[in-house]
Amino acid sequence: MSDRVLEEKLELSPDDWLTWTDEEFNNWRREYDFPRIVDFLFETLPFFSIWLSEQSGLTRQDLIFHGPARFIRHYGQSIRFVEHDVSLRLHPNEPAQPILRHCFIKKNEKQVRKKKVTRSVEFYSYIDWASKNKSWVFHASRSCIKDFVRCLTPSGRSCQTSTYINSNSSIQFYIPYFMPSVTIDEILSSTNRPISPPSLELLKLGGGGVTVVDGVVGEKNLEFTNVDNITLINPIITSFQDISYSTLRNVNIVGNVHAATFHQCSIEIHVSKGDLSECVFEYCESKISLSDSKLYRSSIREKTLKLRLKDTEVSDCCFEHLDINDGSFAERGRFNQSAKMIYSHLGFPDLAGKHFYLEKKEKRKGLWNTFSSLDSRSKIGGRIFSFLSFIWMAFQEVYWGYGERPFNIILFSLFAIMSFSLFGYFNESSCTHMELGDSLIFSFQAFTNITIKEIQQSHDVINLAGSFMSFFGVMSVGLLVAALSAKTKNYN
């Protein structure tokens, strides 16, 4: 491995690393790349050394050997790191050479029993630990854990040309925690330059728009890498590849990608003449396009949904809004609007209707937020209009779910009939007072306008209430028919 060229800015040619074995590539990163990334995390993330000391059984060497991404990313629960031996003894008198494999198992995942476990460590990732202890980890800081998590998504990009065909990528922490308090005179002074926020240059594995045929991605650890501007034709990609905190911009893949997980990556990927199956995109900033392909049992859980499909089949997929900073009501509404239009174009009215309902629900929440927010810039007239719109949308949501919950109409009708019948049963002015059967019949007749028995009420209030019941009855029948036929409407 020592004969391979090591640049000051780490860079490997795709023609080289795609021909290396997985072990060669991972060992190279353990020697030259992972130590500097771990050093960066120790220097940048608050109380990182304390977190590591509290994780009994974990060491700095574990972060370097396996890569730090799996130990710092968000899980929301404890993780069990298991090392087990998969070697087989061919002869009872000859000890087998141990072949060690490693896995990270979530607490809620189905436990697969390993026969020869050599090491087992339960730990909390740094982000989960910091979130749990944010009261003192960020006590004296103007930043919060969400600022640090957000900055781990690579956003820095530099290139000597405007086409970005040979760009470099970096992780940059432009957050209040690292912003120095300086005056304009200090900034302009040539003798006292303020220290810039920390940044991490990613290992460059792509560039130049190079095309590689039959390249072996295999089980290479691609976390914290820049795999931009590359075309892979029929690549050999091992299932369950896990890529975190990396960039894959202007990446073209002709072939299949199976069971890959992308976590907090910047992605602009195009897949053609292959399948994107059982893949997970979470907390990423993605632009995904497919042509003459199949999107199968994949999950896109991100802030925005930018998915372009051409001659592509989609089945059993999940689109869900997921943002590190929770996101605004408008952002969640736009995400569901995009998912609605995708499913509508593909001819899945049930799934389009589901996201249409969620889109309207977020719009209703946004109206209430506009009305109730103390720092809202809307004038009093606009806030009153928002409140009235919220009331109207809330009524529609409960009454028939914006046309997507027809069963709600039936429940509302039964509730209205039972309530009016109890009103007639207990009201002394009603001719059906203390007559449960007649009270039910009168309420049903008023709601459906179907005569079963001649019942004449002499009290004006009860007759007026019966008129309102008739109006809601006619409206409910009409809306029920409209809701049942809503699956034929154009959601676009």
Give the model confidence (pLDDT) of 30-88 as tens digits: 999 999 999 999 999 999 999 999 999 999 999 999 999 999 999 989 999 988 877 77
Total-model pTM: 0.84
- Of 95-109, 128-142, 157-171, 269-283, the range with the lowest mean pLDDT is 95-109
317, 395, 411, 405: which is closest to 358 by C-alpha? 405
Closest CA to 130 of 20, 54, 39, 222: 54
pLDDT in tens, 370-382: 888 866 667 888 8
Residue 356 banded pLDDT, cuts 50, 70, 90: very high
Within 13 Å and on the Cβ side, how many CA atoms surround 456?
1
Q: How far apart are the first and last CA of the chain?
A: 56
Q: Which pLDDT tens digit goes with each residue over 183-232?
A: 556 556 655 555 678 899 999 999 888 999 999 999 999 999 999 999 99
Q: Which of 171, 182, 181, 183 is nearest to 147 (CA)?
A: 171
Q: Long-range pairs for 405-408 at CB < 8 Å and ≥24 separation?
A: 405/357, 405/483, 406/480, 406/483, 406/484, 406/486
